[in-house]
Amino acid sequence: MPPPEARAVAARLAKTQPVAELVSLFVELPDDLRAPGVETRACLLGELALLGAGTGRARTAAYAERLRTLGHPLAWLPETRLDIEHRFMVRVRGLGSVKTLRQLRARFPQVPSSEAGADAGRLAVGVTDDARAQAGARPFVAGGWARTPEVRFFELPAPLDPGDFGTAFLQQLPLDCLEGDGAAVACVTTADDVLNELFSAACYGGVGGHGQGGAYARLHAWEGLYALMGLPGDVPQLDAVRGTADHRWVRFLASTPWFHHDTADLVLAVLDPSRTRVAVLAATDTDVTAPDVSARP
């Protein structure tokens, strides 16, 4: 993780200084990622991308290309902000995190419960993928959320109808967040909503954590989205975006002891295009005294 000073300086420069003046910072190309100032400039390029600035300039383009050559992690991201990222850093007054089942129903279309979904859920088999689980949890871990998210993957013996990918199905999965009795709600959402939740978790941080700044929050968000979709890192982001339409995206909440409904609770579930693979990410920023729910199969 880069030093917080580099992230903070980059964010401040991007917001307060004209781009034309910032370009002068990229005259000298680096030969070593550990050289003084390189990390700050890499973060600055990331912040400018989120602001829709800094592109189309020879110096920043050359610097970004050198970062790619040297293997800087931020260089994996698109140089321009994509349309799917339109919610990043946009806050609507009175529209905070979804804390209750009632709020979830009010904001998103609910998925009807089905017996076919319950039958399919009982046949789901857990799959171990530690690296993928860690990537899915990274936005929340980096942002210092109170507990490590529960990230789980499952395979089905037969394709699941997207209309059955809802409460009845999810309640049959062996998830720690659903242990105990309680009402539950599953609602259909979209990939941009999911990506924004991942970005916000890292960018603003948890109640007891620290925000990572826009550049690295964007990186962690994309890493999390790729993990949920089961994509390798060499897939270009635009190809990943095209693939989101073939996935089924669901938000889920339950009144079980794992949730507290007071700061931030979030469950995301994704059904892949084959309709036989499911990813679930459950995160909460409350109950720091409870046993940690690690990212495990």
Q: Calculate the dihedral angle through the C-alpha atoms of 138, 142, 144, 146, rounding to the nearest 10 degrees.
A: 10
pLDDT in tens, 29-38: 999 999 999 9
> Is the predicted pLDDT of residue 17 greater than 90, yes or no?
yes
**Residue from 251, 234, 228 nearest 99 by CA:** 251
Half-sphere exposure of 19 (CA within 13 A, CB side): 16
Query: What is d(CA 41, CA 176) in angstroms, rounded to the nearest whole number?
Result: 42
Residue 196 has pLDDT above 60, yes or no: yes
**CA proximity to 7, closest of 219, 171, 155:** 219
Give pLDDT, residue 287: 59
Over the stretch 124-163, which tens digit does the pLDDT of each residue have?
999 999 999 999 999 999 999 988 999 999 999 999 999 9
Mean per-residue pLDDT over the chain, rounded:
91
Quickly state the pLDDT bin for 231 (edges 50, 70, 90). Answer: very high
pLDDT at 292 over 70: no
Beta-ladder partners of 125: 155
Count of alpha carbons within 13 angstroms of residue 183, beta-carbon side: 6
Mean local confidence (pLDDT), 92-106: 80
Q: What is the pTM of this model?
A: 0.93
Q: d(Cα 87, Cα 112) in Å, to the nearest integer?
A: 28
Q: Rounded CA gap, 222 and 198, in Å?
A: 8
